Amino acid sequence: MKEITDLKDPELKIYTELNEIQLKRYFEPDAGLFICESPKVIRRALEAGYEPVSLLMEPKYLEGQDADILALCEKNLASDAKPFSIYTAPQEVLIKLTGYHLTNGMLCAMRRKELPAVETLCKDAHRIAVFEDVENPTNIGAMFRSAAALGIDAVLLTGGCSDPLYRRAARVSVGNVFQIPWTWITSPSHYIDLLHQLKFKTAAMALTDKTISIDDPVLKAEEKLAILLGNEGNGLLPETISKSDYAVKIPMPEGIDSLNVAAASAVAFWELRDRR
């Protein structure tokens, strides 16, 4: 345990000098690091089995209702792990580090996990969500939160998406990025082909001339359904829409044509949930 008074301390490099991409590549070719903030998000990551590397926090968290996080950290350490470091710093130092007062006094650096293949993740799933090139980490976090709350079994992301383990995404999700299974799509062909091979029907949330309403009974009757949501500005790719089994719209008053993708995802997940 070490008390920190200067953010230039070299031991804090992963917190002060490395950006999200550099952290992700920290152990290349092995999985890298990510940073969680706030006791609630950190606890959910630890409960999901992620291995901690170090903690940076206000001294008050050594005792009280969040003291269990230290025990969870010890439990999750690998047998061959390097010594686990706990850095303490006053609140004003942590605010300088993050630039805002939202850390709730605790940051934790953790190792990423190797992610499963799409086929493995979707083997027993009945409702999955696919995020296609959703770039905003706030949207990603909100969509994961809705997916976890509204019956989605797994989430797939295309390479153009923001990383769910980026600090803002994990924080906005309130740690639900650790609750719901997810992975990246790496299929060399269009992922719709892969989903069809896995026996999923695909519902593209899109504004086209040939859409069905989201409350259409045919959608709810599908045993295995993938709900596709696209980029904030451009929506889903034309090829994605043309290959999908359904193009689906959320009915709205005249003059209003769309919702923010995070809001649309919550509506879609609720309406198309598995009712069996």
At 240, the amino acid letter reads: T
Which value, in Å, is the radius of gyration of the alpha carbons in the chain?
Answer: 21
Residue-number span of the structural domain to which 124 is assigned: 118-271
Which H or E run contains 202?
strand 201-205
pLDDT at position 104 is 67
By DSSP bridging, strand 33-37 and strand 106-111 are antiparallel
Q: From CA 75, how far away is CA 241, in angstroms rounded?
A: 46
Q: Where are the beta strands (DSSP E) in 49-179?
A: 52-57, 85-88, 106-111, 127-131, 154-157
Residues 190 and 106 in one domain: no
| Helix axis angle, 68-76 to 39-47, nearest 10° | 30
Strands 52-57 and 106-111: antiparallel
Instruction: Tell me which amino acid residue 9 is.
Output: D
Q: What is the CATH number of the domain that holds 220?
A: 3.40.1280.10
Clarify whether residues 264 and 160 are in a common domain: yes
Work out how many domains the chain is built from and give that number. 2
Q: What is the pLDDT of residue 190?
A: 92
Dihedral pair phi/psi, residue 43, rounded to 5°: -60, -45
Query: Considering 111, 134, 158, which residue would you say is the last residue of a domain?
Result: 111
Same-domain status, 133 and 214: yes
- pLDDT given for residue 82 in this prediction: 74
Same domain, 146 and 261: yes
Quick check: 89 and 56 in contact, CB under 8 A?
yes
What is the chain's pLDDT, residue by residue, as a tens digit (276 residues)? 888 877 777 888 888 888 999 999 998 888 899 999 989 999 999 999 999 999 998 888 888 778 889 889 989 887 777 778 899 888 877 777 665 554 567 899 999 999 999 999 999 999 999 999 999 999 999 999 999 999 999 999 999 999 999 999 999 999 999 999 999 999 878 999 999 999 999 999 998 878 999 999 999 999 999 999 999 999 999 999 999 999 999 988 877 777 899 999 999 999 999 876
d(CA 52, CA 224): 36
CA–CA distance, 73 with 84 (Å, rounded to integer): 9
- Same domain? For 80 and 133 the reply is no
CA atoms within 13 A on the CB side of 73: 23
Contact between 26 and 18 under an 8 Å Cβ cutoff? The reply is yes
Query: Of 111, 140, 165, which marks where a domain is finished?
Result: 111
In whole angstroms, what is the distance from residue 103 CA to residue 39 CA?
9
Residue 37 structure tokens: 């903030």
217 and 133 part of one domain:
yes
Does residue 182 sit within a domain? yes
pTM recorded for the entire structure: 0.91
* 8 and 106 belong to one structural domain: yes
The last residue of one of the domains, among 111, 142, 167, is 111
pLDDT at 98: 60
The pLDDT of residue 105: 77
Which tokens go with 240? 């994605």
